[in-house]
Amino acid sequence: MNRNAFSKDTGVSRREPERYRSYSGARLNVKNISVTCAVLIAVVIMELVSSSNKSTLIYALAVVSLVPLFYGIRYALRYPSWFIFALIVAETVPYFSIIPIDPGSRWFIRYPLLFPLAIPAVWAAFKTRTLFQGRFALMLMFFGWGAVTLVYSLNPTVSAGRLIPDFLLFATICFAASRIENADDVQVVLGRFVLGCGLLQIITAFAYLFLPEVLGGSGETLRATWMLDERGLYRFCGIFNEPNAVGSLMLATVGSGVAHWHAVTSRWRKLLLALSMIAAVIFAALADSRSETLAAVVGCIGYGIWKYRWKGAMAVAIVMVLAIGCFTMFSSAIEPYLNRGVDSMTGRTEAWSFEVSKAEDSPLLGYGYQSEGEILRDHRFRDWEEIWNRGASTPLHNGYMTLIIGTGIPATIFWLVVFIAPWWALFRSGEDPWNLMPLALLVIIPALLLSIDESGLSEPRYVRGLLLFMCWAMAERYQLVHRAQAAAAEAQPWSRWQELFARSTVNGKS
């Protein structure tokens, strides 16, 4: 097939600087990056140990991070497979719990990282018309509707402040996915993502081992490591500001790690990947992140049975028996955590009932993009616990209700159809040359299940959202490439005479 024709049809640049299938093809100055990381770590350790003024830490990190930020953006633009790694950094570092600023007011830390990285990628995505192809264009229409909702949003400032970064993240992911051409490219992108998750697990382990658990002698828990929830149970937070973030990282680490496992050929890399996934599971257990753990278990069970058939079913049965045995032996210690708020889903049932009533009041338009928490300020909502009293920052703990409340029922149905369609087409065809089906079982299905009692389904934010949208973008990219290849194959002349006739016809018209 003609390379130029394929590039024109699929939007792939003929001057692509990187072949994704090669891990060693990119020339990366490891020494300089290692020195920079060492400086950053040294600054953090010195400040944590010797300084009580945490504002100094912020300024020091801001200055030191300028060098890796500049070179990181430049490198990602040359080698788009690194965008997913760069986005992990941009979406997690500003929300580290060691930063002594309210997590809801850190936009001035997040935006300087995100905008310089995303804007050049978004411009490239528009220039190559990536965002106007296939379901990328349909998802772009959804963000356009989100912009329309700003007119009547309950909190236009919050809606705009979430819509703009979400669109930038989405467009950057689409640009990175537009450079994927085969199964090897998919695994290279997954490898970059796994690397980012592995580094976060190392930082989390550092927080668990070395950061203090208690401030002063009053017994007040430090959110940098552990927190005491409303029921008096200790839950691990690590470097994040809430325990569920540790569970979300686990879900992303395990899902991407299992999907990438077969592509790792080096033994030491497999060992590191296994340690990363094991650490993720342990930290999620310490955080008592039950929803994310259940979603990860469902994904792994589905993948095991799908890939290994009866052997996988037997392995699942054995693991379940062992799990039940462990629960029986240690039930006195485990039961308070497993039964935490089960009767009311930790207060969710009352909130869900109110959310449904509000959705019935405005089913077509919703109340504004990602401003869902504002509806809980209504005087008819009777639960005044602190977790429901943060205004627009209050999550509804249901990804589907977040979409309905924010953009309306028609837009929610539209989004779900666009999101599920590439996977439906993939399984319906029965062909999987890019090996994407494991991602559907390990990432997409767990995300759809988790969205029953957690928000964030339609948000390409943080680690879990980045993985979710990256997988969707790769699935849609496969559909575009597959259709382009099929059309090119059908257009091939049946004989040399027909090819000459076709050329003469074109030349005559021109």
Residues 467-494 have pLDDT tens digits of 999 999 999 999 999 988 888 777 665 5
Domain annotation covers residue 360: yes
Domain annotation covers residue 428: yes
Mean pLDDT for the stretch of residues 69-79: 72
- Has residue 378 got a pLDDT over 80? no
Domain annotation covers residue 259: yes
- Residues paired with 235 in a beta bridge: 227
What distance lies between CA 478 and its chain's CA centroid?
A: 19
If you write DSSP's letter for every residue of 447-458 in order, what string do you get?
Answer: HHHHTTT-S-TT
- 221: domain range? 3-14+29-310+337-488
Domain annotation covers residue 315: no
| Rounded percentage of the chain residues whose pLDDT exceeds 70 | 74
Give me the numbers of helices (H) and strands (E) for the chain, helices first please.
21, 4
pLDDT at residue 397 in the model: 83
Higher-confidence position of 214 and 151: 151
Most confident range (mean pLDDT) of 109-113, 284-288, 391-395 is 284-288
pLDDT at residue 497 in the model: 57
How far is it, in rounded angstroms, from Cα 62 to Cα 58? 6
- Has residue 146 got a pLDDT over 60? yes
Contact in structure between 182 and 479 (CB atoms under 8 Å)? no
pLDDT at residue 509 in the model: 45
Residue 440 structure tokens: 């559907």
What burial class does residue 39 get, using C-beta atoms within 10 Å of its C-beta: 0-12 exposed, 13-18 middle, 19+ buried? middle
pLDDT at residue 196 in the model: 92
- Residues paired with 228 in a beta bridge: 234
Residue 325 structure tokens: 């045995």
pLDDT band at 64 (very low <50, low <70, confident <90, very high): low
Mean pLDDT for the stretch of residues 395-422: 93
Domain annotation covers residue 503: no
pLDDT at residue 349 in the model: 75
If you write DSSP's letter for every residue of 26-42 in order, what string do you get?
Answer: S---HHHHHHHHHHHHH
Mean pLDDT for the stretch of residues 249-254: 95
pLDDT at residue 42 in the model: 47
Most confident range (mean pLDDT) of 113-117, 311-315, 418-422 is 418-422
pLDDT at residue 69 in the model: 65
pLDDT at residue 67 in the model: 62
What sign results for the dihedral spanned by CA atoms 305, 307, 309, 314? negative
pLDDT at residue 72 in the model: 67
pTM score, whole prediction: 0.82
What burial class does residue 53 get, using C-beta atoms within 10 Å of its C-beta: 0-12 exposed, 13-18 middle, 19+ buried? exposed
pLDDT at residue 18 in the model: 43
Mean pLDDT for the stretch of residues 69-78: 70
Q: How many structural domains are present in the chain?
A: 1
pLDDT band at 403 (very low <50, low <70, confident <90, very high): very high
SS3 content of the chain, % helix, strand, coil (to 5): 70, 0, 25
Domain annotation covers residue 495: no
- Has residue 115 got a pLDDT over 50? yes
DSSP 435: -
Residues 267-285 have pLDDT tens digits of 999 999 999 999 999 999 8
DSSP three-state, residue 119: helix
Domain annotation covers residue 391: yes
b vs e for 363-394, b when ≥16 Cβ sit within 10 Å of the residue's Cβ? eebbbbbbbbbbbbeeeebeeeeeebeeebeb
How far is it, in rounded angstroms, from Cα 230 to Cα 213? 18
Higher-confidence position of 24 and 327: 327
Single out the residue of 4, 123, 79, 140 nearest to residue 484, CA to CA.
4
Domain annotation covers residue 444: yes
How far is it, in rounded angstroms, from Cα 118 to Cα 107? 15
In sequence order, what are the residues at sequence separation of 6 or more whose Cβ sits closer than 8 angstroms to the Cβ of residue 228? Answer: 221, 234, 235
- Has residue 317 got a pLDDT over 70? yes
